[in-house]
Structure 1
């Protein structure tokens, strides 16, 4: 009967989802309307807290345990108060002590957005266009964060017990460096604390391979972040008066940056591939059956280079470049 029960629940679940689409869109619209921009805390701290409280109330309505943990760092480097971190838990009704615990991570803050940035509609008004939903945070990351609550709600409405215990940890500073999260995780991972009994972690901040098939991400490459400062003189100089007489910081910086990577995407740093495992025949074959369209991907990310080409034109090379091999990106130059 177990298999039959699973089939029945799967059918009922998808029917429930189809019937609830308008609810999901409406609630996502409520979340998108809260401009929880973490890059501007003096202006938007109250919006991030409002987003946290909105989510806390939703969890409470689902009879979950929920708590807003004060940010361990208290204030940022500029003395601004930091938003709390949301912790929540939904235990299985039957034999919770014998079931695994999954902790799901997401964030409720967003990047800045304004219509003059190039949006076709107000970024904080969820707008449907061409069968797609547009709004800041709709996919990164309020939609995925809400999806976990909709899963819990579906189990509740269908009177089906959770197959695992579910914990949630939602932050409000991911778009600005996750300030306070490192300290919070260290504290919450100690014996008897919130994260100590988590068997698995799921990051709800990923993407699909295309418009047709979901993607289950089971590993991440990791990230190393560096900054470089170049100074030529102890004061600002006028290029019309001193140009040609000193080594200029911007010129030297651009030359330095160009020595790290070439125009084909090849990293020029010696030894960068020494610790990268070679591609096996078995791994190579895994890419053959992946549903991915390079042209659709190019359109999706709106490639605007002079050549109108990606660095790799075949599916396998492109996906390996994205997923398994090191990459190097230059993210900006700031003049002080």
Structure 2
């Protein structure tokens, strides 16, 4: 496979993607080589960062099946650069005797003349095995000739995590102080719901995290392989379980078809009433609080440099939209409803002719500003109950909902401005300010509980395959991630001091 192309930005002016007062910037093409930039402004050099790839190789070897080993490895590696590490137990998984992987907390520096940045990453990964279709052993990092570092977690999120430790090493190697105080929060349950994290944040908000000025989450990717970006918004999600129960056990359709009420008939009817084939949500009232897209936003979406492969993530899906702008609006600015599956029906090939006694339908709604989850839940439940009642079914129905709100951050804050400057320093061009169609519940947890500005700082590319086979992180992204972290902290320290002086003099 050919090497991933060097990212490029449009040469024309791109307007800001929101009406938050951010300035439009002129985007230039990225330089082909960024490794030779001087340390003082851009961070460590290429030879240093490449020598540190061995550390990511070691971390990739530790599969998700050994969370205690992974947390201990991460803690030990943090201590080698002088980070004061604390392992915070999170208790046991509900209903089991299994201990949850601990939070790995760390503190580096406590200078009152510097800002304190809380860095979040996670050290757990998605399951993987060679039988899934991997080209290489997933837990052995393989450096391919095309410049890709392949292995489970290289992009999500072991690579970004180890990059922070590499960054501290780089400053130490040249005898320069890290520009900011750092507080680390590395968790081991992100891929399975971040159990215990919210409670830990609430418990430590006025203790371990009391002196934090801003938060940086390094668990996102660019909007496309060709377009540098920093997301300032995320859609929320309301996940639904609809359970329909009929008989006490599955029945034979030959003996009972036409005699008993069948849950599958009800389930298919209800699921089909939620959304049409063009993606329009059919539940009345869902769109009531959705903000219209401005002409300025529409034009800016048209000018983003996104290939069709990046736009659709290489999935090969058939687009519902005529152009890039409409596709991005559907992803970022409008709610969507997706049907996921109907469970408890017998799996397998062949002519299965039983009547399932109980079914669980799963679907979710992605929400956008300024939709309120509690209001959406009310109208969704009413729609389902009304539809079920109209069927005259003799079955029973139960509805469960699990909401997580949308997230939108102030990109004019010095935290985001530092990231914009750092991206320009390292990659040679300005990032576009974008949104994400997915949801990262922890971003909202950090914002609500700590009441701090939360930055989403991309490292990888959307074609990294984070949750699929053959996950990779391009070597150029790994090198520049370490530079990006260092430059971000330097710019953050400068802007923090300017803001502090402005407040004190005003």
**Shared fold, TM over 0.5:** yes
223-232 vs 237-246, greater mean Cα deviation:
237-246
C-alpha change, 1:226 and 1:23, in structure 2 (3 Å) is farther
Alignment CA distance shift 1:227-1:284 (3 Å): same
Aligned to 1:85: 103
Residue 82 (structure 1) shift: 1.3
- Indicate conservation of the 8 Å contact 1:75/1:82, yes or no: yes
- Aligned CA distance change for structure 1 residues 101 and 330 (closer, same or farther; 3 Å): farther
Deviation of the 1:288 alpha carbon: 4.1
Per the TM alignment, residue 257 of structure 1 is displaced from its structure 2 partner at its CA by 1.9
Of 132, 142, 151, which aligns to 1:117?
A: 132
Q: Do residues 98 (structure 1) and 125 (structure 2) align?
A: no
Q: Is the 8 A contact 2:60 2:153 kept in 1?
A: yes
Q: How much does 1:52 deviate?
A: 0.8
Q: Equivalences for 1:155-174 in 2 at 5 Å? A: 155-174=171-190
TM-score, scaled relative to structure 2:
0.56
Matching residue of 1:233: 247
Aligned counterpart, 2:192: 176
Report deviation, 1:144: 1.6
What residue is the counterpart of 1:34 in the other structure? 62
Among 139, 158, 166, which residue is 2:155 paired with? Answer: 139
The answer to whether 1:60 aligns with 2:86 is no
2:494 aligned residue: none
CA distance 1:320–1:313, change in 2 (3 Å): same
What per-residue deviation string (whole Å, max 9, x for no partner) do you get for residues 187-235 of structure 1?
A: 111x2x1122222112221112233444322222222222221112122
Q: How many residue pairs end up in the alignment?
A: 308
Query: Matched residues in 2 for 1:276 and 1:112: separation?
Result: 37
2:436 paired residue number: none
Instruction: Compare 125-134 and 264-273 and name the one that shifted more.
Output: 125-134
> Does the CA-based 8 Å contact 1:293-1:315 persist in structure 2?
no
- How much does 1:327 deviate? 2.2
Contact 1:209–1:291 under 8 Å retained in 2: no
SS at match of 1:219: strand
Q: Once the 2 structures are TM-superposed, how far is the Cα of residue 107 of structure 1 from its aligned partner?
A: 1.1
Q: Distance in 2 between matches of 1:289 and 1:194?
A: 44
5+ unaligned residues in a row in structure 1: which ranges? 1-8, 37-43
Structure 1 distance, partners of 2:171, 2:86, is 22
Residue 269 of structure 1: aligned partner: 283
Instruction: State whether residues 294 and 314 of structure 1, in contact with CA within 8 Å, keep that contact through their aligned partners in structure 2.
Output: no
Structure 2 residue 320 is matched with structure 1 residue 320: no
Aligned partners of 1:331 and 1:144: how far apart in 2?
30
Counterpart in the other structure of 1:153: 169
For 1:64 and 1:216, how far apart are their aligned partners in 2? 28
Asked whether the equivalents of residues 293 and 333 of structure 2 are also in contact (C-alpha less than 8 Å), the reply is no
> 1:10 Cα shift?
6.1
- Name the CA distance, whole Å, in 2 between partners of 1:310 and 1:25: 38
Q: How well do the aligned residues superpose, as a CA RMSD in angstroms? A: 2.4
Task: Give the Å deviation of 1:325.
Answer: 2.0
What is the rounded CA distance, in whole Å, between the counterparts of 1:62 and 1:222 in structure 2? 37
- Match of residue 33 from structure 2: none
- 1:301 is matched with 314
| Partner residue in 1 for 2:464 | none
TM-score by length of 1: 0.83
Residues 302 and 150 of structure 1, relative CA distance in 2, 3 Å threshold: same
Does the aligned pair in 2 maintain the 1:108–1:141 contact within 8 Å?
yes
Alignment check: 8 A CA contact 2:49 2:166 kept: no
State the structure with bigger RCO (CA 8 A, min sep 6), 1 or 2.
2
**Could you tell which deviates more after superposition, 246-255 or 163-172?**
246-255
Residue 432 of structure 2 is matched in structure 1 by none
8 Å CA contact retained: 1:294, 1:313 = no
- Is there any run of 5+ residues in structure 2 with no aligned partner, and where? 1-35, 345-357, 359-506
Q: 1:245 to 1:155 in 2, by over 3 A?
A: farther
1:278-331 C-alpha deviation (Å, 9 max, x unpaired): 222333343244221124434x4331x5xxx22334222222222232222333
Change (3 A) 1:284 1:75: same
